[in-house]
Structure 1
Amino acid sequence: MEKIRHKDARPMMDLMAKKIFSDTEITAEFIRDILELPVESVKILDGTQIHVTTSKILPNFTTQVDVLAELNDKTQVVIEIQVAMQVDFIKRLWLYICEQVSQNLDEYKKDGIDTHYLSRELIPVYAVAITEENYFEDDRAIHNFSLRDSETKEELKVRVKGIEEKRNLVQIAFLELKKYKPEMKASYNKVRWMELFGNKPFTHQPGNIITKADRILDVKEWSKEDKAMFDEYTRAWDGWNAHLAYIKEAQEQAKEQGIEQGLQRGLEQGIAQERAKTINIIADLVKGGLLTKEMGASKLNISEKEFEKYL
Structure 2
Amino acid sequence: MEERHKNIKPIYDLVVKKVFCNEAVALQFVQDIFDLSAKSAKLIGSDKIFRANSNVGDDFNIAVDILVELDNHAQVIIEVQLAKQAFFMNRIWAYLCKQVNDNIERLKQNEKERLAIYKKLPPVYVAAIVDKNYFDGDDPISTFLIKEETRNTELKMYVDNDIKEMPLLKIVFLELKKYKLELKESYNKVRWLEFFGNKQYTSEPGEVIDQADDLLNVRNWTKEEKDMYDERTRQLDHHWATYAYAREEGIEYGMQQGRAEGRAEGIEYGMERGREEERGKYIKTMIRLVNNNILTKDIACEELGITEEEFEAYL
Q: Pick the TM interval, shorter chain.
A: 0.7 to 0.9
What displacement does 1:207 show? 0.8
Tell me the equivalent position of 1:8.
7
Q: TM-score of the superposition, structure 1-length normalised? A: 0.82
Q: Distance in 2 between matches of 1:279 and 1:78?
A: 29
- Map of 1:29-108 to 2, 5 A cutoff? 29-46=28-45, 49-53=49-53, 55=55, 65-108=64-107
Tell me the equivalent position of 2:260.
none
Q: Residue 58 of structure 1 contacts residue 233 of structure 1 at CA under 8 Å; is this kept in 2? A: no
What displacement does 1:78 show? 0.2
Q: Which runs of 5+ in 2 are unaligned?
A: 255-267, 302-307
Q: Distance in 1 between matches of 2:130 and 2:222?
A: 28
What displacement does 1:112 show? 4.9
Q: Residue 125 of structure 2 contacts residue 171 of structure 2 at CA under 8 Å; is this kept in 1? A: yes
Q: Distance in 1 between matches of 2:187 and 2:250?
A: 37
Tell me the equivalent position of 1:179.
178
- Map of 1:1-311 to 2, 5 A cutoff? 2-46=1-45, 49-53=49-53, 55=55, 65-115=64-114, 118-246=117-245, 265-273=277-285, 275-282=287-294, 296-301=296-301, 302=308
Q: Residue 104 of structure 2 contacts residue 117 of structure 2 at CA under 8 Å; is this kept in 1? A: yes
Q: Distance in 2 between matches of 1:211 and 1:39?
A: 21
User: What is the total number of aligned residue pairs between the two structures?
Assistant: 289
Which of these two proteins has the greater Rg computed from alpha carbons?
2
Which residue identity does 2:16 align to in structure 1?
Answer: A
Question: Which deviations, in whole Å up to 9, do the C-alpha atoms of 1:67-113 show, x marking residues without a partner?
Answer: 01100122110000111110010121011111100011011222254
Question: Which deviations, in whole Å up to 9, do the C-alpha atoms of 1:250-306 show, x marking residues without a partner?
Answer: 89999xxx98886665333222245324421438xxxxxxxxxxxx34334458xx7
Q: Distance in 2 between matches of 1:187 and 1:252?
A: 46
What displacement does 1:138 show? 1.3
Which residue identity does 1:220 align to in structure 2?
Answer: R
Report the secondary structure of 1:103's partner residue. helix
What displacement does 1:159 show? 1.7
What displacement does 1:49 show? 2.7
Which residue identity does 1:280 align to in structure 2?
Answer: N
What displacement does 1:244 show? 4.5
- Point out the more displaced range, 231-240 or 261-270: 261-270
Q: 1:58 to 1:280 in 2, by over 3 A?
A: same
- Point out the more displaced range, 220-229 or 62-71: 62-71
Q: TM-score of the superposition, structure 2-length normalised? A: 0.81
Question: Which deviations, in whole Å up to 9, do the C-alpha atoms of 1:9-29 show, x marking residues without a partner?
Answer: 101111111110110000000
Report the secondary structure of 1:164's partner residue. coil
Q: 1:170 to 1:261 in 2, by over 3 A?
A: farther
Report the secondary structure of 2:165's partner residue. strand
Q: 1:196 to 1:264 in 2, by over 3 A?
A: farther
Report the secondary structure of 1:130's partner residue. strand
What displacement does 1:222 show? 1.5
The two structures, once aligned, show a CA RMSD in angstroms of 3.3
Report the secondary structure of 2:6's partner residue. coil
Q: Residue 62 of structure 1 contacts residue 229 of structure 1 at CA under 8 Å; is this kept in 2? A: no
Q: Distance in 1 between matches of 2:231 and 2:209?
A: 27
Q: Distance in 1 between matches of 2:139 and 2:273?
A: 35
